[in-house]
């Protein structure tokens, strides 16, 4: 079984986000970038499936600027066999990403697609669900455990009320949640080996996909700073402030 995993290049989670002075977005110039943490979990799960003999080939896919090759190299160092970069300087919104992934799935014919449940830059949580809908595949979202056997995928999902277990007919799209696994660190020998693994570069036009944005960002602003808390002397004073100052009751 071939497994396809999508990985995204995002601002490193340790970096403090700064809004551009013109409020058109967040500052990315001279900012450390890395693989989206949920995508690291997706890669780790695919590598474990390969190590267990369930998967035979692992393909890492990324979309975006040329520097996204670095993200693919990280996936290759973790255990992916080869990479595909859909190179574009255009802003890619979730629907465009899902359409590009659909085209790649039809081209590569994997039995399983694993993506992170969301990217930490836009927090959209849409690509996996959109991709499953476009392909007409079953989907297991917010997965905290994945088992493949007898042509079915059993996914333990994290839901509001606790955990839900679903049995899905293959092929399937799975979105990785935080507790699915703990990603490994890429060792130095594997980082060196990753430099020799192939990365195929494509354009969106090669896949026949229109990636023009359908949403427009009007303005990006920082959240208001929280005011310091205060102590009140009595319950009646607390109720008064909640009613007349905070206006929440």
35 with 231: CB under 8 angstroms? no
Q: What is the pLDDT of residues 35-56, one digit of tens each?
A: 999 999 999 999 999 999 999 9
- Asked if residue 152 belongs to a domain, the reply is yes
Is 249 within the bounds of a domain?
Answer: no
pLDDT of residue 90: 87
Rounded distance between C-alpha atoms, residue 130 and residue 99, angstroms: 8
**Average pLDDT for the chain:** 93
The domain in which residue 214 lies consists of: 2-244
CA dihedral 92, 127, 177, 163 (to 10 degrees): 160
Q: What's the rounded mean pLDDT across residues 202-225? A: 89
Report pLDDT for 55.
94
Q: Looking at the 3D structure of the chain, how many domains does it have?
A: 1
Contact 117, 125 (CB under 8 A): yes
Q: Which residues pair with 246 in a beta bridge?
A: none
CA distance 55 to 183: 18
Question: What per-residue confidence (pLDDT) applies to 25?
Answer: 86
47 neighbors 78 (Cβ within 8 angstroms): yes
Of 92, 34, 35, which Cα lies nearest the Cα of 63?
92
Classify residue 26: in a domain, yes or no: yes
- For residue 216, tell me if it sits in a domain: yes
Distance CA(76)–CA(74), nearest Å, equals 5
Where does residue 106 fall: left (phi above 0), alpha (psi -120 to 50 degrees), or beta otherwise? alpha
CATH number of domain containing 48: 3.40.50.620
Is residue 119 domain-resident?
Answer: yes
Q: Retrieve residue 48's tokens.
A: 């474990």
pLDDT of residue 245: 87
pLDDT at position 138: 96
| Any domain includes 14 | yes
Asked if pLDDT for residue 229 goes beyond 90, the answer is: no
Residue 32 three-state SS? coil
Q: Are 86 and 100 in contact (CB under 8 A)?
A: yes
Within 8 A by CB and 6+ apart from 42, the residues are: 5, 6, 7, 114, 115, 116, 174, 175, 176
Element housing 140 (H / E): strand 138-149
Q: Determine how many CB atoms are found less than 10 A away from the CB of residue 123.
A: 8
Work out the end-to-end distance of the chain between its first and last CA atoms, rounded to an integer number of angstroms: 57
Which tokens is 121 given?
Answer: 């830059």
Neighbours of 242 (CB within 10 A): 13
């Amino acid at each position: 079984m071939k497994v396809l995993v999508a990985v995204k290049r995002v601002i490193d989670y340790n970096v403090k986000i700064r809004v551009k002075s013109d409020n058109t977005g967040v500052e990315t110039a001279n900012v450390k970038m890395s693989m989206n943490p949920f995508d690291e979990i997706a890669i780790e799960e695919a590598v474990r499936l390969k190590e267990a003999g369930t998967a035979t080939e692992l393909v890492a896919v990324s979309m975006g600027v040329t520097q996204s090759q670095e993200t693919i190299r990280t996936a290759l160092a973790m255990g992916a066999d080869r990479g595909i970069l859909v190179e574009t300087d255009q802003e890619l919104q979730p629907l465009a990403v899902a359409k590009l992934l659909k085209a790649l799935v039809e081209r590569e014919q994997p039995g399983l697609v694993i993506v992170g449940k969301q990217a930490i830059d836009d927090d959209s949580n849409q690509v996996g669900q959109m991709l499953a809908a476009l392909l007409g595949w079953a989907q297991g979202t917010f997965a905290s455990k994945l088992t493949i056997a007898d042509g079915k995928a059993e996914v333990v999902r994290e839901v509001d009320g606790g955990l839900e277990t679903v049995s899905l007919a293959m092929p399937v799209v799975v979105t990785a949640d935080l507790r699915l696994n703990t990603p490994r660190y890429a060792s130095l020998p594997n980082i060196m080996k990753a430099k020799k693994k192939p990365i195929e570069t494509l354009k969106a036009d090669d896949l026949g996909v229109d990636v023009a944005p359908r949403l427009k960002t009007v303005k990006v602003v920082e959240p208001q700073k929280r005011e310091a808390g205060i102590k009140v002397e009595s319950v009646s004073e607390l109720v008064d402030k909640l009613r007349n100052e905070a206006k929440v009751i």
